[in-house]
Amino acid sequence: MLLVTGGAGFIGSNFVLSTLAATGEAIVNLDKLTYAGHLRNLHALRADARHVFVRGDICDRGLVGELLAKHKPRAVVHFAAESHVDRSISGPAAFVQTNVVGTFSLLEEARAFYEKSSSSDKQKFRFLHVSTDEVYGSLGPDDPAFTEETPFAPNSPYAASKASSDHLVRAYHHTYGLPTVTTNCSNNYGPHQFPEKLIPLMIRQALAGQPLPVYGDGRNVRDWLYVADHCDAIRVVLERGRIGETYNVGGNAEMANIDLVRLLCSLIDKSVPGRRSAELITFVKDRPGHDRRYAMDIGKIRRELGWAPRESFASGLEKTVRWYLENIETHFARPEAA
Ligand SMILES: NC(=O)c1ccc[n+]([C@@H]2O[C@H](COP(=O)([O-])OP(=O)(O)OC[C@H]3O[C@@H](n4cnc5c(N)ncnc54)[C@H](O)[C@@H]3O)[C@@H](O)[C@H]2O)c1
């Protein structure tokens, strides 16, 4: 079985649902249920004995140690994090606590568990750390995409906390021989994303006839990865990734924020007749230190592990808009969705 952290959040819940559907492997899901996590994301599993949900903090070493001893997972898949850049600017402490101290706590407990395991269990064990392209900093318009060799240059407290956790994971492999693998992915989109992030925020605002706030001149470029493709990549890295390595995961879909928002408006207007959503676009004061461009070179995971994204941006975005339209009542009605 797998021990997943943060499996009630956006990517974690997509991973838990798709892994159970694809492989049937049991999952212990440790999640603190912060504002970003919600059991509604896992509603489909409420009567599924293969999914064991535990509400708790990754910083609670006693609890993590107990879960490892009791369930003896063959891998830890670590999603739990504070993940929103804007919140890291207004309150960085929680990011250091969960992303740095929390990852350290997990690594310590995983190391103790690993060291006590039999040699055949040791061979199978993996600690997979899910990280971000933001650790690499920002690109100019014509710079080549980030590779796994790009030096770290984090610019926000969020990115710095994730970079710190990546370094700890690396050190636990090099120092203690813990069999780690790290994935650094670009911006994910798809079902179950908390509506503070660009795509669900714009959909929610447009449907409510409210302003669509776009930072600065809207020309910041991101690479977009459909969450189901990301979950497949994680399973591939878990099965075939080389121990101690990092793998970039991206969607080959670079787009400026303003172009993305316009595309979303046209998809919403097609589904909800009578709308003119683009008229709601409002440019707002830029985020401090806003990275200009991220782009991912995914040659390594493609060459070594045979993974490539399957979803095109056009089809993924259409599916995503449809999902939010179909789940508008339950998803956007969450009381914490401020
Ligand atoms: N969403 C993206 O586009 C993106 C891009 C690159 C990397 N990532 C990384 O992927 C991972 C998942 O991102 P997401 O978008 O699903 O995040 P999310 O914010 O939607 O979910 C995070 C989950 O972690 C849980 N959590 C937070 N602190 C915890 C703690 N101390 N103990 C236990 N659980 C805790 C939350 O309750 C929530 O369920 C993160 O590590 C993030 O840095 C995300």
Distance 6 CA to ligand 1 centre (A): 6
How does pLDDT run across 196-232, given as a tens digit for each residue? 999 999 999 999 999 999 999 999 999 999 999 999 9
- What span, in angstroms and rounded, lies between the C-alpha atoms of 160 and 264? 30
* DSSP class per residue in 231-296: HHHHHHHHHHPPTT-EEEE--S-EEEHHHHHHHHHHHHHHHSTT--GGGGEEEEPPPTT---B--B
Cβ 52 vs Cβ 1: under 8 Å:
no
The alpha carbon of residue 180 and the mean position of all alpha carbons in its chain are separated, in whole angstroms, by 18
Q: Please name which of 106, 100, 76 lies closest in space to residue 88, comparing C-alpha atoms.
A: 100
- What span, in angstroms and rounded, lies between the C-alpha atoms of 147 and 286? 27
Distance 273 CA to ligand 1 centre (A): 35
Q: pTM, whole model, 2 decimals?
A: 0.97
Cβ 158 vs Cβ 84: under 8 Å:
yes
Split at pLDDT 50, 70, 90, the class of 338 is very low
C-beta atoms surrounding 278 within 10 Å: 15
How does pLDDT run across 43-59, given as a tens digit for each residue? 999 999 999 999 999 99
Cβ 41 vs Cβ 9: under 8 Å:
yes
Determine the residue of 79, 97, 134 to mutate for testing ligand 1's pocket, defined as the one with the most ligand atoms within 8 A of the Cβ atom. 79
C-beta atoms surrounding 143 within 10 Å: 12
Q: Which atom of ligand 1 is nearest to the CA of 162?
A: 43
Name the strand (E) or helix (H) holding 34: none
Q: How far is CA 216 from CA 154, 257, 258, 289, in A?
A: 20, 10, 10, 11
- What span, in angstroms and rounded, lies between the C-alpha atoms of 18 and 164? 29
* DSSP class per residue in 139-205: --TTSPPB-TTSPP---SHHHHHHHHHHHHHHHHHHHH---EEEEEE-EEESTT--TTSHHHHHHHH
Distance 120 CA to ligand 1 centre (A): 31
How does pLDDT run across 270-284, given as a tens digit for each residue? 999 899 999 999 999
Distance 99 CA to ligand 1 centre (A): 9
Determine the residue of 14, 18, 34, 234 to mutate for testing ligand 1's pocket, defined as the one with the most ligand atoms within 8 A of the Cβ atom. 34
For residue 232, the one-letter residue type is D
How does pLDDT run across 150-202, given as a tens digit for each residue? 999 999 999 999 999 999 999 999 999 999 999 999 999 999 999 999 999 99
* β-bridge partners, 293: 221
- What span, in angstroms and rounded, lies between the C-alpha atoms of 6 and 70? 19
- What span, in angstroms and rounded, lies between the C-alpha atoms of 321 and 325? 6
Kindly report the protein residue whose alpha carbon is nearest to atom 32 of ligand 1. 57
Q: Which atom of ligand 1 is nearest to the CA of 193?
A: 20
Q: Which atom of ligand 1 is nearest to the CA of 133?
A: 6
Active site (catalytic) residues: 133-134, 158
The answer to whether residue 336 scores a pLDDT higher than 80 is no
The answer to whether residue 337 scores a pLDDT higher than 50 is no
- What span, in angstroms and rounded, lies between the C-alpha atoms of 335 and 338? 7
Cβ 178 vs Cβ 106: under 8 Å:
no
Kindly report the protein residue whose alpha carbon is nearest to atom 5 of ligand 1. 187
